[in-house]
């Protein structure tokens, strides 16, 4: 089996590449050119991977990437994925995260209509939630240019499935985290920040809205769900979540507690981290995935906090 993964240098792409290599796949990563190589998350497996240079903004390069890799499966994980940046660069976000999906689908349709296609949809599409918990039938109400772009990509995937009979699935994944999470996302910012404080490398941590609630799972668990979706007889969309919700404040408390620190002594609120509007509450119902894919989350909230805090603490200690 051959797979083409966009976003292979990202958190999910790196775990997915490991997972597919373990399953015996030939794995092609679609990467964009950069003046400084950005392969940190895949350095340990880079010799086993093949790379094709292309950009989600550039149709012809995507066609070439598919021509060269001749994939049986395409995982479209590439996107501008940081919500605050989507207000600063709404047009570019629409290009990468929205239209980029159509470029991938168009290239796939023209090159090999039988290829199986996975689209990285997001719980951010539920935004100002219409029901609790959110499932595959919950109406969308995105609250950021990122969320709007994801809704577009989601429905294009559904449309290509219905219009061209393609095997195209959308995984509506709720927030998933890991030691490989980008430093600007709140979970990693907190675990890394708390570890720095513990080691005497910082004396405070500035955050925004502590009341927002998220359904946080472990990225490594979620990768398997993507693969399982493409292994079914029929293409469908699935919510992937833990079913538990916690506030940012609870994440902060648990992370500092892991290091025997009282968070209230160190955390400051900085208004610049507060968004024009926020998604107040996310909690997913992934009973469809449980029933049809046999998928279930393995790591709970406290387990995830522990994995990330321990990793960051040990990593920073080694650098000292």
171 contacts 150 by C-beta, under 8 angstroms: no
Minimum CB separation of residue 253 from ligand NAP in Å reads 21
124 is a catalytic site residue: yes
In the range 15-44, which residues lie near ligand NAP by CB under 6 A? 32, 34, 38
Residues 6 or more apart whose Cβ sits within 8 Å of residue 82: 146, 182, 184, 185
Active-site hit among 61, 81, 122, 286: 122
The candidate with the shortest Cα–Cα distance to 77, out of 117, 50, 42, 40, is 117
Residue 10 engages ligand NAP in binding (rule: CB under 6 A): yes
Q: How far apart are CA 110 and CA 59, in angstroms?
A: 12
Residue 176 engages ligand NAP in binding (rule: CB under 6 A): yes
- Sites of contact with ligand G4F (CB under 6 A): 81, 83, 122-124, 174-175, 184-186, 189, 207-209, 212, 214, 248, 273, 275, 278-279, 282
Residue 80 binds: one of ligand NAP, ligand G4F, none (C-beta under 5 to 8 A by kind) = ligand NAP
Query: What tokens appear for 261 in the block?
Result: 């620190």
The kind and range of the H/E element at 304 are helix 301-319
69 is a catalytic site residue: no
209 contacts 276 by C-beta, under 8 angstroms: no
Residue 13 engages ligand NAP in binding (rule: CB under 6 A): yes
The kind and range of the H/E element at 225 are helix 219-230
122 is a catalytic site residue: yes
Residue 77 engages ligand NAP in binding (rule: CB under 6 A): yes
Q: How far apart are CA 270 and CA 91, in angstroms?
A: 27
Residues of this chain that bind ligand NAP (CB under 6 A): 6-7, 9-13, 32, 34, 38, 55-57, 77-81, 96, 120, 122, 173, 175-176, 182
């Amino acid at each position: 089996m051959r797979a083409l993964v966009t976003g292979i240098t990202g958190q999910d792409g790196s775990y997915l590449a490991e997972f597919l290599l373990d399953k015996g796949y030939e794995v092609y990563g679609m990467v964009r050119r950069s003046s400084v190589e950005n392969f940190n998350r895949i350095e340990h497996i880079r010799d086993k991977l093949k790379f094709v240079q292309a950009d989600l903004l550039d149709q012809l390069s995507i066609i070439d990437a598919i021509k060269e890799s001749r994939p049986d499966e395409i995982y479209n994980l590439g996107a501008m994925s940081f919500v605050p940046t989507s207000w600063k660069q709404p047009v570019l976000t629409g290009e990468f995260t929205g239209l980029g999906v159509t470029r991938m689908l168009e290239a796939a349709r023209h090159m090999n209509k039988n290829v199986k296609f996975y689209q990285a949809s997001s719980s951010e599409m539920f935004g100002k939630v219409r029901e609790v918990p959110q499932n595959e039938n919950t109406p969308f109400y995105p609250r950021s240019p990122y969320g709007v772009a994801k809704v577009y990509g989601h429905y294009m995937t559904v449309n290509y499935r219905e219009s061209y009979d393609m095997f195209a699935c959308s995984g509506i994944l709720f927030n998933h985290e890991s030691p490989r999470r980008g430093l600007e996302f709140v979970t990693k910012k907190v675990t890394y920040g708390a570890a720095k404080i513990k080691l005497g490398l910082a004396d405070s941590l500035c955050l925004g809205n502590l009341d927002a609630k998220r359904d946080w799972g472990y990225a490594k668990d979620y990768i398997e769900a993507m693969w399982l979706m493409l292994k079914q007889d029929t293409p469908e969309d699935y919510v992937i979540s833990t079913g538990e919700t916690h506030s940012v404040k609870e994440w902060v408390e648990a992370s500092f507690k892991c290091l025997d620190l009282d968070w209230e002594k160190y955390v400051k609120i900085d208004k610049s981290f507060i968004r024009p509007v926020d998604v107040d509450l996310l909690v997913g119902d992934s009973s469809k995935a449980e029933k049809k894919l046999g998928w279930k989350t393995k790591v709970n909230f406290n387990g995830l906090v522990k994995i990330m805090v321990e990793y960051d603490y040990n990593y920073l200690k080694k650098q000292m």
